[in-house]
């Protein structure tokens, strides 16, 4: 990439965005596309043909030879199948062709993507269909067209379809509420999302020598290094030249792809960093975050680095998460979670807040399942990430407002007056005071909520589908009630007070890392689903299934299918980790320490013959040999337990959690003890201090 670049020209230069469409389409086709995007109308084939032709011309001018329907199957990563534009015209010559039909719909042999039994129930193939609300872009000579992925009977096989459904439904219900407040302008309510992405960068050569990192994305072994993150010198510290070069390259690539990468800084752990884009609509944010993760890996590779997106690549230092900043905005530019400056705006704000509080309380278990993965289990509740208990942090000012509404008493602030909803204005909610609590899983940060439990490698789709749908449900209930009211102001007051009173238990403004909170949460009756194995069954709890079916986000079979995929995924991750561990113990660690112990014995022997003291050699050899025997036995147990993995997915998940994980913890403890005792030249892989402090 050029070093002297003009940012406004670079930004979005590889995106077939609205501006480009305006330039290259006839006014009629541009108008039809715009209407399709803002009002959900469908496009006719002649418009699609024109858009396809313009897209192809634009892409070919920029050097593209192929196009792909770019989609997000349930694997959590993106999938693409490239077709070239070429079409034979006789005489051995070709033309570059791309039709509206090819743009709008593609076929895909879906049989190798996880479908959780949906395909067996319905039929074998899947198709992809253009999502005109997300812009096409160019990636390495290929025109990428964001698409949904469905089975022929219309069942969602991907992470985009239900997200789009949830966005529509949330908008529909939110508009009902806005109309009650006299808003006649808003035509669409948009979920706005800004995902902050954490990651590690390590040296490629060292990575290549760690089988565990290559196979599982995390280290399965590794003793604590002499220095970890205790000096706190990495967080926001000066960025090292090699990392800075990576970040510059990353930014430029992302900007050209229209991703508004905004902030970058070092994170808490050594070698850990973060990137945050400027927020956008949830659908685009989700597509772009997938792209961000892909680009991070590729750009790292160009710099002889490896980007680790796993939630917990290293034990004993902080893992990586993703903060999902989420708010609702109108197409007229208003943020519905911004406390307003007039009584009416504030009443509306409090009603949306009440909906959120009620929804998070009622569906805390489901929200927990949306972040439940084997990788994320290593961070949630571990003093570095939010606990597994879900609660909402409101900050002191807003909390005082909620308290006074519940009590019907006076504020504790200086003004000392009773708040009458719809009549009075709220006291100023200062943004800086809401942002101090970093331990809350769901924090109000001035004009948005920050859902902080997401794992760094996961798609943000699932959590946002949940937030949108939960919001739709609560807003629907409120609208059903208030639309019938003959005394809107009075009933609004009562409803808000009732809801805050019934759901106050989910609000917690203290330290989420404190053990006392977990006990307190239990007294409050909040759910504490400690691991993915504990949490995932809630995915198909009847009340949760009912929620998604009622709002048309999933049919029952779709949600069941998704549940099965998540369970299978958990089991597969654990199986791969256990197998990798066994492999490394048998083929790398035990042979290495055996050689070390034997060499020590040989040296002790020759020293003894010369009458030289050799306690060091003998004691070390004995220590190493003893632990090696322990490790051999632990490895045997792990291997035999792995053999006995039950067949049923749910039983297998439980078994992995209850049996394989403890086996792995035991084996790791011995292996790490061996690492501490073994001379560096014998240890078969780079250790933590090398991995974490090499870049």
Choose between 116 and 329: whose C-beta lies nearer to ligand ADP.
Answer: 329
Q: Is the CB of 285 or the CB of 315 nearer to ligand ADP?
A: 285
- At 669, list the tokens: 């403890």
x/- map, 331-350, ligand ADP, by CB under 6 A: ----x---------------
Site for ligand ADP contains 438 (CB under 6 A): no
Q: How far is CA 492 from the centre of its chain?
A: 36
Helix (H, G, I), strand (E, B) or coil at 328: strand
Which partner, ligand ADP, Mg ion, none, binds residue 327 by CB below 5 to 8 Å per kind?
ligand ADP
445 binds ligand ADP (CB under 6 A): yes
Parallel/antiparallel/unpaired status of strands 280-281 and 136-139: unpaired
Rounded to whole angstroms, the Cα distance separating 323 from 456 reads 9
Q: Is 448 in the site for Mg ion (CB under 5 A)?
A: no
Pick from 331, 311, 307: nearest CA to 321: 311
Q: How far is the CB of 371 from Mg ion (least distance, A)?
A: 16
Does residue 276 touch ligand ADP according to CB under 6 A? Answer: yes
Cβ closest to ligand ADP, residue 193 vs residue 624: 193
Query: Does residue number 503 form part of the binding site for Mg ion (CB under 5 A)?
Result: no
Beta strands 449-455 and 189-203: pairing type?
A: unpaired
Question: Which C-beta is closer to ligand ADP: that of 504 or that of 509?
Answer: 509
**Does 447 interact with ligand ADP (rule: CB under 6 A)?**
yes
- Please identify, among the stretches 15-23, 213-221, 292-300, 443-451, the one whose residues bind ligand ADP according to the rule CB under 6 A: 443-451
Residues 296-325 as x/- pattern, contact with ligand ADP by CB under 6 A: -----------------------------x
Using CB under 6 A as the binding rule, whether residue 464 contacts ligand ADP is answered as: no
Q: Which stretch binds ligand ADP (CB under 6 A): 36-44, 60-68, 339-347, 440-448?
A: 440-448
Q: Nearest-CA neighbor of 372 among 464, 471, 453, 468?
A: 453
**Strand 305-308 to 321-330 pairing:** unpaired
Q: How many residues belong to the chain?
A: 695
**CA torsion sign, 50 to 56 to 57 to 58?**
positive
CA dihedral 325, 330, 334, 340 (to 10 degrees): -90
Of residues 221 and 393, the one with the C-beta less far from ligand ADP: 393
Scanning 293-301, 320-328, 500-508, 519-527 for contacts with Mg ion by CB under 5 A, the matching segment is: 320-328
* Structure tokens given for 373: 């993965």
Cβ proximity to ligand ADP: between 163 and 521 the closer is 163
CA distances from 263 to 253, 275, 566, 602 (A): 15, 6, 32, 57
Among 258, 277, 387, 455, binds ligand ADP (CB under 6 A): 277
Considering only residues 249, 435, 599, 672, which one is a binding residue for ligand ADP as defined by CB under 6 A? 435
User: In the bound complex, what is the minimum distance in angstroms from residue 380's beta carbon to Mg ion?
Assistant: 17
18 makes contact, choosing from ligand ADP, Mg ion, none, with CB < 5 to 8 Å by partner type, with none
Least gap, CB of 217 to Mg ion (angstroms): 23
Candidate list 66, 119, 323, 566; residue touching Mg ion; CB under 5 A: 323
* Interacting partner of 85 out of ligand ADP, Mg ion, none (Cβ under 5 to 8 A depending on kind): none
557 binds ligand ADP (CB under 6 A): no
Of all residues in the shown chain, the one whose CB is closest to Mg ion is: 323
CB 255 within 8 A of CB 228: no
**Residues 6 or more apart from 118 whose CB is under 8 A from it?**
151, 155, 157, 557, 558, 561
Token reading at 558: 């779709």
Q: Does 197 bind ligand ADP (CB under 6 A)?
A: no
The interface partner of residue 56, options being Mg ion, ligand ADP, none and the CB cut-off 5 to 8 Å by kind, is: none
Interacting span for ligand ADP (CB under 6 A) from 101-109, 188-196, 301-309, 452-460: 188-196
How far is 320 from 310, CA to CA, in rounded Å? Answer: 7
| Number of residues engaging ligand ADP in binding (CB under 6 A) | 16
Q: Which stretch binds ligand ADP (CB under 6 A): 311-319, 404-412, 445-453, 509-517?
A: 445-453
Q: Is 618 exposed, middle or buried (0-12, 13-18, 19+ CB in 10 A)?
A: middle
Q: Map tokens 């900050």 to a residue.
A: 395
Pairing label, strands 280-281, 189-203: antiparallel
Q: Of all residues in the chain, what percent are helix, strand and coil, respectively (each to 5)? A: 50, 15, 35
Question: 666 — alpha (psi -120 to 50), left (phi > 0) or beta?
Answer: alpha
Residue 685 corresponds to which tokens in the numbers above? Answer: 């892989």
Q: Taking CB under 6 A as the rule, does residue 194 contact ligand ADP?
A: yes
* Residue 448 contact, options ligand ADP, Mg ion, none, Cβ 5-8 Å cut-off depending on partner type: ligand ADP
279 forms part of the interface with ligand ADP (CB under 6 A):
yes
- Residue 192 touches ligand ADP, criterion: CB under 6 A: yes
Residue nearest to ligand ADP (CB): 194
CA distance 695 to 692: 8
CA–CA gap between residue 108 and residue 249 (Å, rounded): 34
Q: Name the CA radius of gyration of the chain, rounded.
A: 28
* Residue 326 or 444 with smaller CB distance to ligand ADP: 326
Stretch that binds Mg ion, among 222-230, 323-331, 394-402, 568-576 (CB under 5 A): 323-331
**Strand pairing category for 136-139 and 142-151:** antiparallel
Identify which range of 18-26, 319-327, 338-346, 413-421 contacts Mg ion by CB under 5 A: 319-327
* Rounded Cα–Cα distance for residues 491 and 493 (Å): 5
DSSP assigned state of 314:
S
Nearer to ligand ADP, 32 or 460 (CB): 460
Nearer to Mg ion (CB atom), residue 56 or residue 323: 323
Judged by CB under 6 A, the residue of 303, 448, 476, 566 near ligand ADP is 448
Q: By CB under 5 A, is residue 657 in contact with Mg ion?
A: no
Q: Is 599 in the site for ligand ADP (CB under 6 A)?
A: no
Quote the CA–CA distance of 235 and 272 in Å, as a whole number: 9
CB of 196 to ligand ADP, least distance (A): 6
Task: Tell me how far the alpha carbon of residue 200 is from its chain's centroid.
Answer: 15
C-alpha to C-alpha distances, 18 to 10, 117, 168, 427, 574, nearest whole angstrom: 15, 39, 21, 40, 45
341 burial (CB, 10 Å; 0-12 / 13-18 / 19+) is exposed
Report residue 34 as tokens: 């715009």
**Cα separation values, 348 from 260, 340, 489, 499, Å:** 31, 9, 11, 14
348 makes contact, choosing from ligand ADP, Mg ion, none, with CB < 5 to 8 Å by partner type, with none
| Residue 327 binds ligand ADP, judged by CB under 6 A | yes
Whichever of 118 and 350 has its CB closer to ligand ADP, that residue is 350
The interface partner of residue 583, options being ligand ADP, Mg ion, none and the CB cut-off 5 to 8 Å by kind, is none
Q: Which residues bind Mg ion (CB under 5 A)?
A: 323
Q: By the criterion CB under 6 A, which residues form the site for ligand ADP?
A: 192-194, 196, 276-279, 325-327, 335, 435, 445, 447-448
């Amino acid at each position: 990439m050029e070093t002297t670049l003009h940012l406004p020209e670079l930004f979005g230069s590889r995106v077939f965005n609205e501006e480009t469409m305006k330039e290259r389409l006839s006014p009629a086709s541009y108008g039809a596309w715009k209407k399709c995007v803002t009002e959900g109308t469908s496009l006719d084939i002649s418009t699609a043909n024109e858009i396809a032709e313009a897209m192809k011309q634009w892409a070919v001018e920029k050097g593209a030879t192929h196009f792909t329907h770019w989609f997000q199957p349930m694997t959590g990563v993106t999938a693409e199948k490239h077709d070239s534009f070429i079409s034979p015209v006789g005489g051995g010559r070709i033309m570059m062709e791309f039709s509206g039909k090819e743009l709008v719909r593609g076929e895909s042999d879906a049989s190798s993507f996880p479908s959780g039994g949906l395909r067996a129930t319905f039929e074998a193939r899947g198709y992809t269909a253009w999502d005109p609300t997300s812009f096409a872009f160019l990636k390495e000579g290929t025109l990428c067209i964001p698409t949904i992925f469905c089975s022929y009977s219309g069942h969602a096989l991907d992470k985009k379809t239900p997200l789009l459904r949830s966005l529509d439904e949330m908008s529909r219900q939110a508009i009902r509420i806005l109309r009650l407040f006299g808003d006649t302008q808003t035509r669409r309510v948009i979920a706005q999302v800004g995902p902050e992405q954490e990651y590690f960068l390590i040296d490629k050569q060292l990575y290549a020598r760690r089988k565990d990192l290559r196979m599982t994305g995390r280290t399965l072994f590794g003793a604590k290094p002499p220095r970890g993150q205790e000096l706190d010198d990495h967080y926001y510290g000066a960025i090292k030249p090699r990392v800075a070069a990576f970040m510059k390259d990353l930014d430029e690539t992302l900007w050209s792809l229209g991703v508004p990468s905004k902030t970058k800084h070092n994170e808490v752990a050594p070698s850990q960093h973060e990137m945050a884009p400027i927020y956008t609509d949830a659908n685009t944010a989700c597509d772009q975050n997938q792209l961000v993760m892909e680009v991070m890996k590729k750009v790292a590779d160009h710099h002889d680095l490896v980007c680790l997106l796993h939630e917990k690549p290293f034990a004993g230092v902080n893992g990586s998460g993703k903060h999902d900043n989420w708010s609702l905005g109108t197409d007229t530019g208003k943020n519905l979670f911004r406390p307003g400056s007039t009584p009416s705006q504030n009443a509306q704000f409090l009603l949306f807040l009440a909906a959120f509080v009620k929804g998070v309380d009622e569906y805390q278990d489901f929200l927990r399942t949306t972040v439940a993965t084997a990788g994320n289990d290593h961070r949630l509740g571990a003093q570095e990430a939010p606990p597994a208990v879900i609660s909402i942090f409101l900050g002191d000012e807003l909390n005082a407002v909620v308290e006074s509404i519940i009590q019907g008493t006076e504020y504790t602030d200086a003004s000392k007056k009773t708040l009458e909803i719809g009549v009075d204005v709220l006291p100023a909610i200062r943004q800086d005071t809401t942002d101090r609590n970093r331990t809350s899983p769901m924090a109000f940060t001035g004009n948005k909520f920050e859902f902080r439990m997401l794992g760094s490698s996961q798609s943000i789709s699932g959590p946002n589908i949940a937030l949108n749908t939960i919001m739709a449900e609560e807003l629907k209930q409120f609208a059903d009630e208030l639309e019938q009211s003959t005394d809107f102001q009075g009933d609004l007051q009562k409803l808000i007070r009732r809801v805050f009173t019934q759901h106050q238990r989910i609000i917690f403004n203290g330290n989420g890392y404190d053990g006392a909170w977990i006990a307190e949460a239990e007294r409050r009756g909040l759910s504490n689903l400690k691991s993915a194995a504990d949490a995932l069954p809630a995915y198909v709890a009847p009340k949760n299934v009912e929620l998604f079916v009622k709002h048309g986000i999933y049919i029952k079979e779709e949600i069941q299918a998704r549940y099965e995929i998540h369970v299978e995924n958990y089991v597969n991750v654990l199986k791969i980790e256990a197998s990798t561990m066994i492999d490394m113990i048998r083929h790398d660690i035990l042979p290495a320490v055996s050689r070390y112990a034997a060499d020590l014995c040989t040296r002790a022997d020759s020293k003894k013959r010369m009458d030289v003291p050799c306690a060091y050699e003998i004691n070390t050899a004995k220590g190493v040999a003893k632990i090696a025997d322990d490790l051999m036995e632990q490895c045997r147990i792990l291997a035999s337990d792995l053999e006995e993995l039950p067949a049923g997915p749910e039983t297998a998940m439980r078994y992995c959690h209850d049996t394989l994980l403890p086996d792995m913890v035991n084996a790791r403890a011995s292996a790490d003890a061996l690492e501490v005792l073994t001379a560096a030249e014998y240890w078969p892989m780079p250790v933590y201090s090398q991995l974490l402090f090499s870049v």
